[in-house]
Structure 1
């Protein structure tokens, strides 16, 4: 009898001493043992970048599905439950299908070392190969060149969203080094949509594209996107689009929408572009929390949740807060010890009345509340510690019942909140 997916996933955590160990050798070995599902996928759109991968993927999926396409989608990490990572022909994978492919991968792998992300990516590819669909959207887990998703010889399209500094311990210290890893997804003859980039990153992407013969569709050169008079205006050589603003909040979603529109046009699905910006949903990206225990505990407050955790995400959240009506804004923040915490918080200092620091439940790499509070103070934010999110919220609304409260700092913290308040 096949075990429940939770038990299978727990076993997979034990196969390799490191959580992240970038190489494709173990993935190729397992894919060969599974009879190469990566060769039997519906046309693939491969998405790399530091910020905006998930939102861009969500918009592309919304656009394709509005045109009647059946779409597989792979994303990571999950927020509330693992099933979120694998969407089969438009629906989250069900428990029976997930357990079956996980079990098959475990049997094929045996006791050979392999990371959790590698073996679960192989399981997703197996599920995708066996379920009819029109497109497969693959989001890179980390980097690109050596990411477990980088096993498709000839995708239909690649996308590189904005590259910024993150995961330096794996990808390199400089923007150019990190961009080189992201550009590792480029394939000969396969077009690539390139989102807004710093010059140092774009130079590396262009050099790699020239080397492998990949045509680029570059923001600011081949396509343009702006917000004008409360509308999204997109233009490329095919013509101009005048669309509603994205339903995903924040000015940074304009550029993500632009990349999604460029992708849809490159895929020949330009007729369904409005749905891409108006129908996409992506949790924990400036998401309003209106239900659950936290919302009930603070009925007069305005609750938001965001999983962004690097310097660029801090700037994006700050820009989003800047657009909202002025209101006393309190942050409840928990972060991992692998992040540039002060760099994330610095752009938020101008918007935050106070920050309540918490640790992230169940995460070994969490910063303590004391460490997060210290980093907040160094970024110029008045900060105090709290034992948990609920206590922090109670403290805020005791003084300011109508406060705007943003829970932020980590996708892992966002996952905890959605599991308890989804």
Structure 2
């Protein structure tokens, strides 16, 4: 048996024992059929039909509330905004008020569709064809939301929810500013005593096949906007000028040629990428007065946003140049140490798929960095091959598999 929790010593039932006794380890898919239970694929398709491109809710939270309230969840629709940002609608729903408290987290917002004429299916139709569910958000991450809502419904139908609590944290700005979504919901939860013991975030973590990877951590994201101030002049007389473009190239060459470190035990190296250089110069015979560059650093647990800010400012101060630097950090790095939660999810994946997932910290950022402030969190969702792409789609079978895994986790956590 596994034990988990900073606030409670929580007994988690053995995954293997559960299925040996109840299902005798039926190979691969173990799908319990309940005629009156929710279908995860239908939920996902209905969510896709809600055009929830950040910051729009598109009816997705209305839909989820309509599904959760009949299960006796208490739903809180949380609106947050700041000056200069979009107003975002989020959802926090909970059933039960005792420990252990298990939380599923996700986001209903999706990225824009881009060139609509490039799509072979309409991005918000949520159609099923060739055993795939098609549409914007199918992989990232409305398919996973459908899977965990249906898994909760099945769990309650089978076991009645007699032990512990289940909550859902659904944000609306993960794909954009990440200011008025999970970050503020987490503060609201903390202030209202809504502290889960553990959480699964349903981001699309698998690389090529269900069960090949879970995320136990993520690198942070730090952005710098650097402006170099030079001296404008004629290109034929460079000695009378100070070329800020040349200075930019010189400054960033070491960072481009080398990573900032060699990586750590659980993380890959910290990397810097220049995302844009802007000069605004339309003349080919004039050296410009200033040049601007935006760069992004994906950093491991060797750094924090504060230490990176200090490091770059010290470096730029040593250069013979005039500069201004604006910085921001969308998310800090985080790590949930391998242990009871990752073992529980890995065991559940193995029972359903026969695979042992890699524990990874690769990829982009996620809202798990905020959730980690409250409780241990691990990310596991669908295959991410098509996320953010034209004709985004996900296997229907994979959605059912994910439901099975989530159901197993619930059973072995809440029993």
Instruction: Give the TM interval when normalised to the shorter protein.
Output: under 0.3
Q: What TM-score comes out, normalization by structure 2 length?
A: 0.24
Larger of the two Rg values belongs to structure: 2
Between Structure 1 and Structure 2, which shows a larger proportion of strand residues? Answer: 2
Q: Normalising by structure 1, what TM-score? A: 0.24
Q: Which has the higher contact order (CA 8 A, sep 6+)?
A: 2
